Amino acid sequence: MARFRTWVGIAVAGALSVTLAGCSSTGGKRAEDARKAAAAQGRAAVNTPRWTFAMITHSGDGDTFWDIVQSGAKQAAVKDNINFLYSHDDEAQQQAQLVDAAVDKKVDGIIVTLAKPDALKAAVARAEKAGIPVITVNSGSEQSKAFGALTHIGQDETIAGEAVGDELNKRGKKKALCVLHEQGNVGHEQRCDGVTKTFHGTVQKLYVNGTNMPDVQSAIEAKLQADKSVDAVVTLGAPYADTAVKAKSDAGSKAEVDTFDLNAKVAAELKDGTLGFAVDQQPYLQGYEAVDLLWAYKYNGDVLGGGQPVLTGPQIITKDQAAALAEYTERGTR
Amino acid sequence: MSATGERTAEERTPDEGAVKTADERLLQTSPLRKLLSRPELGSVVGALAVFAVFAFAADGFLHTASLSTVLYASSTIGIMAVPVALLMIGGEFDLSAGVLVTSSALVSSMFSYQMTANTWVGVGVSLLVTLAIGAFNGFMLTRTKLPSFIITLGTFLMLTGMNLGFTKLIDGTVSTKTIADMEGFPSARAVFASTLTVGGVDFKVTILWWLGLVALASWILLRTRAGNWIFAVGGNQDAARAVGVPVAKTKIGLYMGVAFGAWISGQHLLFSFDAVQSGEGVGNELIYIIAAVIGGCLITGGYGSAVGSAVGALLFGLTSKGIVFAEWNPDWFKFFLGAMLLLATLLNHWVRKRAEATK
């Protein structure tokens, strides 16, 4: 036992000295803290009462994209003196129950995603019956108005897919692989269908299990090995782009990898040319605008969009714009 | 619930060979001892504690509307937790229970739509198909002698694939088409997914289904021969077979019970949302098992109760919705759930040990 203690002591002392001696003058936690300190000194910019807004999304646990949406919503909430609540569940029934819970709490406004519109119809109607204004974000632009929401903020997935198809044409591609990482997501189907609509070449769909990265990589790899004529791989989420790049190099394929959505890694890989282009739907704006528009409605009765969805995308991002975005993706707002 | 805990097939510890003065079955046990030997005691204590925490921490939690939401959330888990608890008392698992709910809803919806039939026809066909899948599970288990974990894992994967595959094949998309404008829909919605207003508060009809199932399952377990068979096959399969208990029939029946629960849940999904997402239900099977275990079911079988599973489901509903009402960070929900599972199980274990030691 005594010997064991000595070893532990040596190990701890060693670890401490290595840490102290090996300080990095770049990056890391310290740089992040400095950036945060320089960012908004959170204080409300308005003198309206402290309203409570609840946001309920169909996100799973720990999703990069929804983190960015949240950071937009939270910053708008600070500015507008809002108590902001966030909850999520990827099961439609559970998501509907969370909306019910927000209505029970008598919040002053609700922001909801309609990825599974039928499941949320009753819950949204109940919110409106209780006199709570609802804004839909991200998915459900077709149903938003019918459900009686004030506005829909998001990207039309079909239009975004079409933009990708156009860009692929510009780059002279002939055969694209569309990688769907969530079986059962209507928005994902629309994206791939949009690509198919405008792309002059052929599009093949590949379904992968998005919750299991090694599985995603091996599936793409197998496909690229089996079909050497594929010259473009389109992934539908930022985390999958890097995986597709690995799969491509392992399979010895020459295909260009392009992706929907952004994250820090994608921005870096756009910059160094590993990725062709990304199409961004600016999630930060979806969160920020949703909170801000609810505030404007409560304060001034304003509604944006004139009954049409307010689009936050698509925005095609290539090597040229990537450099400027790197800083924003680092801090988790792009 | 005027049940005695004595009817469960308890394991005798070998060091219990003290001198018996009288026949132990004729011994009078004190009411307190009776209470301590109830399988659901631990979960009841847990539920009261969690309820108290949220009653203090969450404003608006004690409103009737909020409690009705909590009850609804609990009932959607509870309807499945009851037959799953019975199955676990019978000593088996069902990992396909979660996706079976989705399958049941999909079959009902697509059959009605494609055949342009009255929705009740779809509901009937769905019952037959779902029960057939349950029977398949039970039949495979009793025939192959493989562990139920493996058998139902296979079924789980096959159903997950079939849910998506058939839906895409038949409907061309990943969710079914709406059947809200078809004949029979309003009456089916009334049965499976209506909202009852009692004293100005809306309650979902699933709560009634849930309570009904709990009562039915309790009656079967404690008042019928079939209930004795369930405890017997879960306690010791070979001994049960030796004394003439129809083991295979009991197990197939238990799996069909789970299928029946999945059918009710599936129809509720369909008639409350009128379209079904094909990819859902994965992972819920574990939640049903968790509810049953928190409610005092032993993983090894032979011990547990239907009421316990209901309390387990209630705990789940309280936690999942309480966190929202209390405005806590939902990132930690799974952590609380895991901690609760451990605590409830430890408490159950401790209580049972005490109850057995002082007999």
What is the full DSSP assignment across B188-205?
HHHHHH-EEEETTEEEET
Residue B101, SS3? helix
Q: CA-CA distance, B29 to B31, in Å (whole number)?
A: 7
Q: Does a structural domain hold residue A244?
A: yes
Do A100 and B325 make contact, defined as CB atoms within 8 angstroms? no
* A251 shares its domain with A144: no
Instruction: Specify the amino acid at residue A128.
Output: E
Q: How far is B226 from B246, CA to CA, in rounded Å?
A: 10
Instruction: Report residue A189 as tokens.
Output: 């189907």
For residue A86, what are its two tokens? 């966030």
User: Could you tell me if A112 and A201 lie in one domain?
Assistant: no
Assign B27 a pLDDT band (cuts: 50, 70, 90): low
Q: For an interface test with B, give the residue of A67, A183, A193 to mutate (most B CBs within 10 A).
A: A183
* Cα-based distances in Å from B223 to B145, B218, B227, B236, B273: 29, 8, 7, 20, 38
Task: Please tell me whether residue B36 adopts helix, strand or coil conformation.
Answer: helix
Residue A239: inside a domain: yes
Q: Is the pLDDT of residue A102 over 70?
A: yes
What 3 state SS string does chain A have?
A: CHHHHHHHHHHHHHHHHHHHHCCCCCCHHHHHHHHHHHCCCCCCCCCCCCEEEEEEECCCCCCHHHHHHHHHHHHHHHHCCEEEEEEECCCHHHHHHHHHHHHHCCCCEEEEECCCHHHHHHHHHHHHHCCCCEEEEECCHHHHCCCCCCCEEECCHHHHHHHHHHHHHHCCCCEEEEEECCCCCHHHHHHHHHHHHHCCCEEEEEECCCCCHHHHHHHHHHHHHHCCCCCEEEECCHHHHHHHHHHHHHHCCCCEEEEECCCHHHHHHHHCCCEEEEEECCHHHHHHHHHHHHHHHHHHCCCCCCCCCEECCCEEECHHHHHHHHHHHHCCCC
A234 and A131 in a common domain: no
Q: Do the domain assignments include residue A179? A: yes
Select from A96, A101, A119 the Cβ nearest to the Cβ of B324: A101
* Tokens read off for B182: 């078809």
Residue partners of B15: CB distance under 8 A and separation at least 6: none
Question: Nearest Cα to B80, choosing from B265, B220, B308, B253?
Answer: B265
Residue B254 burial class via C-beta count within 10 angstroms: exposed 0-12, middle 13-18, buried 19 and up? buried
Residue A68 to residue A138: CA distance in whole angstroms:
12
Q: How far is A186 from chain B (nearest CA, A)?
A: 7
pLDDT above 70: residue A35 = no
pLDDT at B7: 44
Domain with residue A226: its CATH number is 3.40.50.2300
Instruction: Say yes or no to pLDDT of B256 above 90.
Output: yes
Q: Which of B68, B103, B166, B174 to mutate to test the interface with A (most CBs of A within 10 A)?
A: B174
- Chain A residues with CB inside 8 Å of B331's CB? 61-62
| B89/chain A closest Cα distance in angstroms | 28
User: Scanning every residue of chain A, which has its alpha carbon at the shortest distance from the alpha carbon of B266?
Assistant: A93
**How far does the CA of residue A90 sit from the closest CA of chain B (Å)?**
9
Q: Which residue of B has its CA nearest to A89?
A: B330
Please tell me the distance in Å from B269's CA to the nearest CA on chain A.
8
**The pLDDT of residue B37 is above 90:** no
Contact B280 A88 (CB under 8 A): no
Q: Chain B contacts of A102, Cβ < 8 Å?
A: 324
Does the pLDDT at position B278 exceed 50? Answer: yes
Would the CB atoms of A97 and B321 count as touching at under 8 Å? yes
The pLDDT, as a whole number, for residue B40 is: 81
Q: What is the pLDDT of residues B50-88, one digit of tens each?
A: 899 889 988 888 888 889 999 999 999 999 999 999 999
* pLDDT tops 70 at residue B243: yes
Query: Out of A101, A118, A185, whose CB is closest to B321?
Result: A101
- Our measurement of the distance from residue A323's CA atom to the centroid of its chain's CA atoms, rounded to an integer in Å, reads 20
Distances (CA, A) of B289 to A40, A219, B82, B98, B137: 47, 32, 10, 10, 17
Q: pLDDT class for B130, splitting at 50, 70, 90?
A: very high
Share of chain B above pLDDT 70, in %: 91
Q: Residue A2: what pLDDT?
A: 66
The answer to whether the Cβ–Cβ distance between A121 and B273 falls below 8 Å is yes
Q: Which of B275, B357, B343, B346 is nearest to B53 (CA)?
A: B343
A169 found inside a domain: yes
Cβ–Cβ gap B76/A121 under 8 Å: no
Q: Do B324 and A122 touch (CB under 8 A)?
A: no
Q: Is residue A79 part of a domain?
A: yes
Q: Are residues A165 and A251 in the same domain?
A: yes
Chain B interface residues facing chain A, Cβ-Cβ under 8 Å?
A: 60, 63, 65-66, 69, 72-73, 76, 164, 173-175, 178, 269, 272-275, 277-281, 284, 320-321, 324-325, 327, 330-331, 334
Nearest Cα residue in chain B from A106 = B60
Higher pLDDT, A112 or B165: A112
Q: Are residues A184 and A174 in the same domain?
A: yes
What domain count does chain A have? 2
Instruction: Please give the pLDDT value at position B111.
Output: 95
Radius of gyration (Cα) for chain B, nearest Å? 21
- Does A189 sit within 8 Å of B173, measured CB to CB? yes
Residues of A in contact with B324 (CB under 8 A): 85, 87, 98, 101-102, 105
Q: Do B175 and A118 touch (CB under 8 A)?
A: yes
DSSP lists the bridge partners of residue A56 as A87, A112
The per-residue pLDDT for B24 is 61
* Main-chain phi, psi angles of A82, to 5 degrees: -110, 140
Query: pLDDT by residue (tens digit) across B148-202?
Result: 999 999 999 999 999 988 988 998 777 888 898 999 999 999 999 999 998 888 8
Confidence of residue B136 (pLDDT cuts 50, 70, 90): very high
Cβ of B327 within 8 Å of Cβ of A85? The answer is: yes
Contacts of residue A5, defined as CB under 8 A and 6 or more positions apart, other chains included, come to: none
Residues A112 and A192 in one domain: no
Q: Both tokens of residue A180?
A: 């769907």
- pLDDT level of residue A34 (50, 70, 90 thresholds): low
Residue to mutate among B201, B270, B327, B334, with most A CBs inside 10 A, is: B327
Q: Are residues A184 and A250 in the same domain?
A: yes
Q: What is the pLDDT of residue B1?
A: 40
In chain B, which residue's Cα lies nearest the Cα of A85?
Answer: B327
Quick one: CA dihedral A275, A278, A283, A284, positive or negative?
A: positive
- Tell whether A106 and A171 lie within a shared domain: no
User: What is the per-residue pLDDT across A137-178, written as a single tens digit (0 to 9) for each?
Assistant: 998 888 999 999 999 999 989 999 999 999 999 999 999 999
- The two three-digit tokens of residue B260, written as one number: 């029946």
For A182-218, how does the pLDDT look when each residue is reduced to its tens digit (9 = 90+)?
Answer: 876 778 889 999 999 999 999 999 988 887 888 888 8
Asked, for residue A9, whether it belongs to a domain, the answer is no
Q: B308-331: per-residue pLDDT in tens?
A: 999 999 988 888 888 888 888 877
So what's the pLDDT on residue B19? Answer: 47
Question: Of B44, B85, B75, B33, nearest to B227 (Cα)?
Answer: B85
Mean pLDDT of B240-262: 96
Same domain, A168 and A275: yes
Note whether A61 contacts B274, CB cutoff 8 Å.
no
Spatial distance between the Cα atoms of B42 and B37, rounded to a whole number of angstroms: 10
**Is A85 in the same domain as A196?**
no
pLDDT at A317: 94
Q: Is A301 exposed, middle or buried (0-12, 13-18, 19+ CB in 10 A)?
A: exposed
CB contact under 8 A, B173 and A88: no
- Residue B190, Cβ neighbours under 10 Å: how many? 12
For the whole prediction, is pTM greater than 0.85?
no
Q: Helices (DSSP H) in chain B: which residue ranges? A: 31-36, 41-57, 64-89, 97-115, 119-144, 148-171, 185-193, 206-223, 225-235, 237-242, 247-273, 284-294, 306-325, 333-357
CA distance B125 to B128: 5
Strand, coil or helix: what is B160? helix
Separation between Cα atoms, residue B9 and residue A328, nearest integer Å:
64
Higher-confidence residue of B36 and A74: namely: A74
Both A273 and A161 in one domain: the answer is yes
> Which residues of A sit within 8 Å Cβ distance of B?
61-62, 85-88, 91-94, 96-98, 100-106, 116, 118-119, 121-122, 182-186, 189
Are A258 and A277 in contact, with CB atoms under 8 Å apart?
Answer: yes
d(CA A123, CA B236): 48
The larger pLDDT score, comparing residue A256 to residue A38, is at: A256
Q: Which residues of A touch B60 (CB under 8 A)?
A: 104-106
How far is Cα A279 from Cα A321, in angstroms, rounded to an integer?
A: 12
- Check if the beta carbon of residue A280 is closer than 8 Å to that of residue A322: no
Q: Is residue A45 part of a domain?
A: no
Do A115 and A228 fall within a single domain? no
**What is the span of the domain harbouring residue A271?**
157-280
Q: What is the pLDDT of residue A139?
A: 87
Q: A123 pLDDT exceeds 70?
A: yes
Section A57-71 average pLDDT: 87
Q: How far is B347 from chain A (nearest CA, A)?
A: 29
pLDDT mean over B90-113: 96
B4 has a pLDDT exceeding 80? no
The predicted structure's pLDDT at residue B350: 81
Of B69, B273, B278, the CB nearest to A101: B69
- Model confidence at B341, pLDDT cuts 50, 70, 90, reads confident
Residue bearing the bigger pLDDT, B19 or B82? B82
Q: List the single residue in A62, A121, A184 with the smallest CB-CB distance to B278.
A: A184
The rounded mean pLDDT for chain B is 87
Percent of chain A clearing pLDDT 70 (strictly above): 90
Q: Are B132 and B158 in contact (CB under 8 A)?
A: no
Q: DSSP letter string over B263-303?
A: HHHHHHHHHHHSS-BTT--TTHHHHHHHHHHHTT--TTSS-
For chain A, what percent of residues have pLDDT higher than 90? Answer: 60
Rounded Cα distance between A179 and A219, Å, is 10
Note whether B277 contacts A121, CB cutoff 8 Å: no
Contact yes or no for B280 and A105 at CB 8 A: no
Note whether residue A263 is domain-resident: yes
Q: Any residues with CB less than 8 A from the CB of B5 and at least 6 apart, and which? A: B34, B37, B38, B39, B355
> What percentage of chain B has pLDDT greater than the value 90?
56
